Structure 1
Amino acid sequence: MPFVDIRSEDDYASIYYITNSPFGNVMGFDPGKPTIIMLHPMYLDSTWLCNQFGDPRLHQHYNLIAFDMRCCGSSTCRPSGKHDSWVEAADLAFCHQALQLPPSHILACEGISVNCALRFAILYACCLSCMESSELDAVLRRFRFPEMCLSLTLINVPAPTEMAWVFTALDEATQACCYAEDLESFEHAAMEAVRFTVGPDCEADLQDELIAYWEVHMPPSRRVRTVEQMNVLMNRVPLKSYMLKDIKKPVLIIHGERNETCPVKYAERLVADLVNAKDGAILYLVKGGSGALNILPGTASIANQVVAKFISRFNYEEVDMKPSSTPIPERMSAALLKLSEITGDSSIASRNPVSSLSFSCLSPEAVKGQTESIALYRKGQSTAFVPKGPDGGPIRKYSERKKDHWFQGEKDGISYATSFLPTKQGKQDVEHEKAIPLPTSEPVPTEMQGRLRRPIVSPNSVDRHVIKGSMAKVVGSNSTPVSLQRLLK
């Protein structure tokens, strides 16, 4: 299987990738075609980019490659509290150089992929001639640093920090999934996550596929990977406006018009901040689109068409399309030097250049908090519930579950006593609930991110008080604050 191993004294990651070449590796790439690097959506992996790999507008004219991030899909890594989006960008740079890829177009879908792509463009989209000689060490000046990034396409740009209501809701849904003790509990929590990922109008077939994927790849028995991904998303440090000025490549932003978890105003704000993007950053709104634009077949086709037209206008005569011949340690040392300059932390430049964790920009308090959360989630992980069958696949489809309880959640997540309501009235209630917009709020302040995280307590560790004796003795007990007879009146 195609992997890129990134090893260092303090870190290890094995990054899995897929391609559209005949043999599934970069050796089969057509040197006459440009390359597109794709980054998958949050809590999914590269297999969910099938709508892009199967589109002839992209497949026939470009070399396509997609990487699973270090905590996703088939990739593996050593869990670390230093993990953030700068680390993800460093992973991508290591993979780019290890596979000897030419300068490539970047297509990032949602959340952590968008954050990774922006940071990758800041550190690896400029060559040596773009830097002032005073900013470089004498040893590094003799090397040529070709560009890795030709253009950026971002699908559904998130807010600088997570929206307050999304922050709380995702925290609760993640905890419920990680500590689920039965299939029904896991499915209920997963359905909440579907609404944030796709939107309230997710089709039943797609619901089944998403929940089945999470049951197999993100069960409670692997919850450390889940919480590490959530830490990257929730505890991100927003990019400053002056950092975004270093992005000088063409930028296309595709955003769902009805995306409530990532409001359009933040995509518009990013366009305004990308003042040096070549020919100005472009914002394309997908009418009626919400979340997961690359997953839904209808919106995916629209997005693919826009991407194909955007990339087809690129002038390759202005760029050296040969893979980099610079040794990896020297190229990554230059990236650390640039990162130290834009962050104002001179200690970054002296870090180990062959470790992705050296690029982490989290504060010591954030690193400590993430390390503690990983250690807390690891407790009891080996004996946690596994919602899979003997064959390793899902036990059932979510849509085929038995609905024999009055408290059964419907498509919108709300329960209806349908046996007591006329059919017409029940349908009207469902449509009414779907029309209610999700809550609106501002992003969480950076200094409040750690404080909003609730302590995680395993259900098995909670003391359960059992009162023994006859019902008459229990009802008549003086320790009962409210009599059962008064409650029944």
Structure 2
Amino acid sequence: MPYIDIAHGGDYASIWYVTNSPSGYVSSFNPDKPTIIMLHPFFLDSSWLDAQFGDPRISHHYNLIAFDARAAGKTISRPNGRQDAWTDAADLAYACHALWLPPAHVWASETIGANMAIRFAALFPDMCLSLTMLSVPSPTELEAFFHTCDELLHMWAHAEDIDTLEFTLMQVVAYIVGPDLDMDFADEIIAYLETSYPPFKRAILAQLGNVLMNREALTERELAAVTQPVLLIHGDKNQIHPIQYAERMAANLVNAEGGAKLFVVKGGQGYISVVPSWASISNQVFVKFLSRLPHARSELRPPTQSLDDRMIHALDVLAHLAADPSIARRADSEDISPMLFSRISREVQHLQVENYMSAARDQRKAFSPLGADGRPMRKYSERKHDHWFQGDRFWMSYAENWRDGDSDDEDHQHDAQHVGGPALEGADQPASQEVMRASAVHRAMFNPGTVERMDKYVVKSNLSRVASATAIPLGKLIIRS
């Protein structure tokens, strides 16, 4: 099976990969073709790279390999509070070493993939020929979107019915892909998210949320460590990651060979790597970028350095970039593992563990949107708008007949365009460390059993009958008249 096992000390991961080779394995790569490593978008997996694997401009001229990150796709991993984008980059290096991969071009999409790729290029320059990033992320989640993202993750993980879950996932899709999306495409993404991250698997979703919400911004010194040719592809209508951050990153990659190149996709929103029209444009730009670089062969040869030696050298590089000599000494007291590369504080590590444990508590009793066959019970577009509180395009609600005169196609378009609510104001400022820490504390402290325990203090009656309820402790009485 195409898995790579990473087992060192208390850390364990079995990384799944897929290739375009005839056998599906690296051993049948064409040595005359350069190799491209592809990193999938956040919340998705390598199966969503069909737009690249199925494009003959790429697949006919290059060896392709894609890895599922931890908590994504078919990869199996043990949750670890130390996980961050630096440890993800180390995971990729472990996989490349285990497969004897030659130096390769790295293609990465969206938040987690892009952050992993740029750290990989800085720490392991001998493994990376060039770096291409699509939908360049902001340093951290934008402050105006940060709490919205936090709330969406919470609603998703603790949804108690199909309507709540579908409403939440549609907002997620509208944010990450863009509001102007085809409803059949939205159905496909929502079905994948329901199947991969249902509420009864919310601990995995918490693991993903930890890496997303607790990530730290790269410094100018760390960006300057990237010396390979760099291509940035970004949509000018990306609401979550405004284009000024792609421009800023291009300017800060001062040592990129030939200077970092930025290509702007007109009208591009969200995940331009999965939307077919934008993906085709991005593929064309990517292929032209690679055609200008020296041709590289892909012979599979045993590494000249041992795994431990290579990782110790990378730790030295990380210690220099972080200006923290203690990082280089971690290998003296611990087994060599990707978790040695973690840059998050001990407090955040503890909060990530607490958040995961809180999400895992009683998760198997949570709501399941899947039928007996393991598939979603319905498509999102097949739901019924029969609730009186369903708002119109002006966010007004009517008791009945609010949909008179609207066609189904118009309703679906309305859902996609307006599900995210009004436009965010001041959405161009990254979240501060204080905001991120407060949010991490809140996620770790949340216990889904709290609401259940409060039910015994809720009296559903009129005020005269409640007056006799003297046994209820003061301050814990909630009256519903």
**436, 454, 463: which one pairs with 1:463?**
454
**137, 144, 160: which one pairs with 1:158?**
137
> For the Cα contact (< 8 Å) 1:100–1:324, is it kept in 2?
yes
Q: Deviations over 1:179-209 (max 9, x none)?
A: 1122222111111211221011121111111
1:253 corresponds to 2:232:
yes
> For the Cα contact (< 8 Å) 1:249–1:277, is it kept in 2?
yes
Cα distance in 2 for partners of 1:5, 1:413 equals 53
The verdict on how the C-alpha distance between 1:52 and 1:10 changes in structure 2, with shifts beyond 3 A counting, is same
**439, 443, 455: which one pairs with 1:452?**
439
Q: Tell me the amino acid that sits aligned with residue 74 of structure 2.
A: S
Cα distance in 2 for partners of 1:290, 1:473 equals 57
1:355 corresponds to 2:340:
no
Structure 2 equivalent of residue 391 of structure 1: 373
Give 3-state SS (helix, strand or coil) of 1:13's partner: strand
- TM-score with structure 2 setting the length: 0.88
Paired residues, number: 461
Structure 1 equivalent of residue 123 of structure 2: 123
The verdict on how the C-alpha distance between 1:413 and 1:309 changes in structure 2, with shifts beyond 3 A counting, is farther
Structure 2 equivalent of residue 135 of structure 1: none
Cα distance in 2 for partners of 1:249, 1:483 equals 64
Q: Deviations over 1:140-194 (max 9, x none)?
A: xxxxxxx100000000111111101221111111111111122222111111211
Q: Deviations over 1:78-108 (max 9, x none)?
A: 1111010000000000000101111000110
> For the Cα contact (< 8 Å) 2:33–2:298, is it kept in 1?
no
Q: Which structure 2 residue ranges, 5 or more long, are not aligned?
A: 471-476
The verdict on how the C-alpha distance between 1:209 and 1:319 changes in structure 2, with shifts beyond 3 A counting, is closer
The verdict on how the C-alpha distance between 1:87 and 1:433 changes in structure 2, with shifts beyond 3 A counting, is closer
What does 1:39-438 align with in structure 2 at a 5 Å threshold?
A: 39-125=39-125, 147-316=126-295, 324-352=303-331, 354-408=336-390, 417=398, 419-420=401-402, 423=405, 437-438=423-424
Q: Give the CA deviation at 1:408.
A: 3.7
> For the Cα contact (< 8 Å) 2:117–2:131, is it kept in 1?
yes
**432, 437, 440: which one pairs with 2:426?**
440
Give 3-state SS (helix, strand or coil) of 2:49's partner: helix
Q: Give the CA deviation at 1:461.
A: 2.8
RMSD of aligned Cα (Å): 3.0
Cα distance in 2 for partners of 1:335, 1:43 equals 28
- Structure 1 window deviating more from structure 2 (70-79 vs 376-385): it is 376-385
Cα distance in 2 for partners of 1:22, 1:38 equals 18
Cα distance in 2 for partners of 1:483, 1:73 equals 45
Cα distance in 1 for partners of 2:199, 2:267 equals 35
Q: Tell me the amino acid that sits aligned with residue 430 of structure 2.
A: P
- Structure 1 window deviating more from structure 2 (281-290 vs 315-324): it is 315-324
Q: Deviations over 1:284-306 (max 9, x none)?
A: 00000010101111000001111
Q: Deviations over 1:354-386 (max 9, x none)?
A: 311111011111111111111211111222222
> For the Cα contact (< 8 Å) 2:130–2:228, is it kept in 1?
yes
Q: Give the CA deviation at 1:421.
A: 6.7
Give 3-state SS (helix, strand or coil) of 1:316's partner: coil
Cα distance in 1 for partners of 2:241, 2:463 equals 55
Cα distance in 1 for partners of 2:435, 2:366 equals 31
Give 3-state SS (helix, strand or coil) of 1:243's partner: helix
The verdict on how the C-alpha distance between 1:340 and 1:320 changes in structure 2, with shifts beyond 3 A counting, is farther
Q: Give the CA deviation at 1:420.
A: 4.1
Cα distance in 2 for partners of 1:119, 1:475 equals 61
Q: Give the CA deviation at 1:314.
A: 0.9
Q: Tell me the amino acid that sits aligned with residue 82 of structure 1.
A: R
Give 3-state SS (helix, strand or coil) of 2:4's partner: strand
Q: Tell me the amino acid that sits aligned with residue 440 of structure 1.
A: G
Q: Tell me the amino acid that sits aligned with residue 389 of structure 1.
A: G
Give 3-state SS (helix, strand or coil) of 2:454's partner: coil
Cα distance in 1 for partners of 2:376, 2:469 equals 49
Q: Tell me the amino acid that sits aligned with residue 387 of structure 1.
A: P
Q: Give the CA deviation at 1:452.
A: 2.8
The verdict on how the C-alpha distance between 1:204 and 1:348 changes in structure 2, with shifts beyond 3 A counting, is same
> For the Cα contact (< 8 Å) 1:475–1:483, is it kept in 2?
no
Q: Tell me the amino acid that sits aligned with residue 461 of structure 1.
A: E
Cα distance in 2 for partners of 1:167, 1:483 equals 33
Give 3-state SS (helix, strand or coil) of 1:189's partner: helix
